[in-house]
Amino acid sequence: MHFSLPKEYREAETTDLQQRIIAAKKKLGSKLCILTHHYQRMEVVAYGDHVGDSYGLSKVASEQKDVEVIVFCGVLFMAEAADILTDEKKMVFLPNPLAGCPMADMAEMADVMEAWKSLEQFGGDETFMPISYMNTAAGLKAFTGRHGGLICTSSNAAAAMGWALERREKLFFFPDQHLGCNTAHRFGIKPEEMAVWDFSRESGGLAPEDIERAKIILWKGHCHVHTTFKPEHVEQARKDYPGVQVVVHPECPREVVELADANGSTSFIVEYCEEQPAGSTIAIGTEINLINRMAHQFPEKKIIELSGQTCPVCANMYRTTLNDLAYTLENYADLKPISVSEPDRGEALLALQKMLEIC
């Protein structure tokens, strides 16, 4: 896909863009709601009506009543979820249409269907409960809803898994193997009861006995931002900063989560930073824009990026600029909103509502 802003917006000065955003917000008043994910640039977050994690923002979207225009400064799967959770009178816009999620793209519809076809030979939805991470395309959320499953985010994956395990013997979790693995550990599921479905290999690279033994099938997806964190980064941080508190996102590999003091969603990480006393040192394993914002927000604490060197940026989150926001706010009437059509919409809604009910 090609996307380029008109020259007027591309070349505008920051102060001009800021004034235009403020004026557009004033003009739209209560008709407008700007949602900003924690990984957005600091200057974009400054104009959000709400800042939050993927769960919190989907909940805020679902609670809007009189709002007509939702501008979601995040990535595509978040805007799609907001569209599904709101009535058809509300228009949802993604200011930069190129903002996707490479992890969500690792779960291709056709590949997941092929995996499910194999799992049907082992009981299908009699045995397996599908749990789709929020980071998936709407079509996969619909698949999950159709088979009685539910959506989870990093802030409610344990609640979702608990719900699922009470209802079916086994879980089919996609696309993030690390969130799935880290959460399954909390339920006492052993490594040998976890099987990773490698979508690039015949039958997921699994033998029938692997599937029979497994309590959970984990899709072999990952986030390239969070998998840059390694156990040696935690060890180094502890050497360099005695008494450091290490907090990481559960999309990080198991070995990193095990060594950390705490792990949780982006909102959890924000709360964790808030709770630490002045003078403390906190090393964070997540996206750099959130870390920089925390360091800015809490100057009385030393807040550092855990690896100290890799600059873990989510380039997709970073795509959204003030230029995109100003353009969207001033031209939304001529732009195409994010719109998930039936039957995906209704089926995905079932799975999303289940998440909102239990969490």
Report if residue 251 touches ligand 13P, rule: CB under 6 A. yes
Shortest approach of ligand SF4 to residue 154 CB, angstroms? Answer: 9
For residues 110 and 312, is the Cβ–Cβ distance under 8 A?
no
Report if residue 316 touches ligand SF4, rule: CB under 6 A. yes
Residue of the chain from 58, 86, 136, 154 that contacts ligand 13P (CB under 6 A):
154
Residue of the chain from 103, 152, 157, 270 that contacts ligand SF4 (CB under 6 A):
103
Separation between Cα atoms, residue 115 and residue 97, nearest integer Å: 30
Listing DSSP states for 177-214 in one string gives HHHHHHHHHHTT--GGGEEEE-TTSGGGG--HHHHHH-
Tokens of 83: 């569209």
Residue 18: helix, strand or coil by DSSP? helix
Report if residue 266 touches ligand 13P, rule: CB under 6 A. yes
Residue of the chain from 177, 265, 289, 320 that contacts ligand 13P (CB under 6 A):
265
154 binds, among ligand 13P, ligand SF4, none (CB under 5 to 8 A by kind): ligand 13P
265 binds, among ligand SF4, ligand 13P, none (CB under 5 to 8 A by kind): ligand 13P
Residue of the chain from 21, 76, 184, 223 that contacts ligand 13P (CB under 6 A):
223
Is 201 exposed, middle or buried, given 0-12, 13-18 or 19+ CB atoms closer than 10 A? Answer: exposed
Q: Which of residues 39-58 bind ligand 13P (CB under 6 A)?
A: 53-55
Report if residue 244 touches ligand SF4, rule: CB under 6 A. no
Shortest approach of ligand SF4 to residue 312 CB, angstroms? Answer: 8
Q: What angle separates helix 76-84 from helix 54-63, to the nearest 10 degrees?
A: 30
Binding residue count for ligand SF4, defined by CB under 6 A: 11
Report if residue 223 touches ligand SF4, rule: CB under 6 A. yes
Separation between Cα atoms, residue 92 and residue 97, nearest integer Å: 12
Residue of the chain from 82, 101, 179, 234 that contacts ligand SF4 (CB under 6 A):
101
Residue of the chain from 51, 76, 211, 317 that contacts ligand SF4 (CB under 6 A):
317
Shortest approach of ligand SF4 to residue 152 CB, angstroms? Answer: 14
Report if residue 294 touches ligand SF4, rule: CB under 6 A. no
User: At CA 271, angle to CA 266 and CA 277, rounded to 5?
Assistant: 135
Separation between Cα atoms, residue 170 and residue 129, nearest integer Å: 6
Separation between Cα atoms, residue 217 and residue 194, nearest integer Å: 6
- Selected range binding ligand 13P among 88-96, 121-129, 151-159, 295-303, rule: CB under 6 A: 151-159
Q: Could you tell me the CA-to-CA distances from 225 to 135, 174, 228, 286 in Å, in that order? A: 14, 17, 6, 7
153 binds, among ligand 13P, ligand SF4, none (CB under 5 to 8 A by kind): ligand 13P
Strands in 245-248's sheet, in edge-to-edge order, are: 262-263, 245-248, 281-285, 302-305
Residue 310: helix, strand or coil by DSSP? coil
**Contacts to ligand 13P by CB under 6 A:** 53-55, 135, 153-155, 223, 251, 265-266
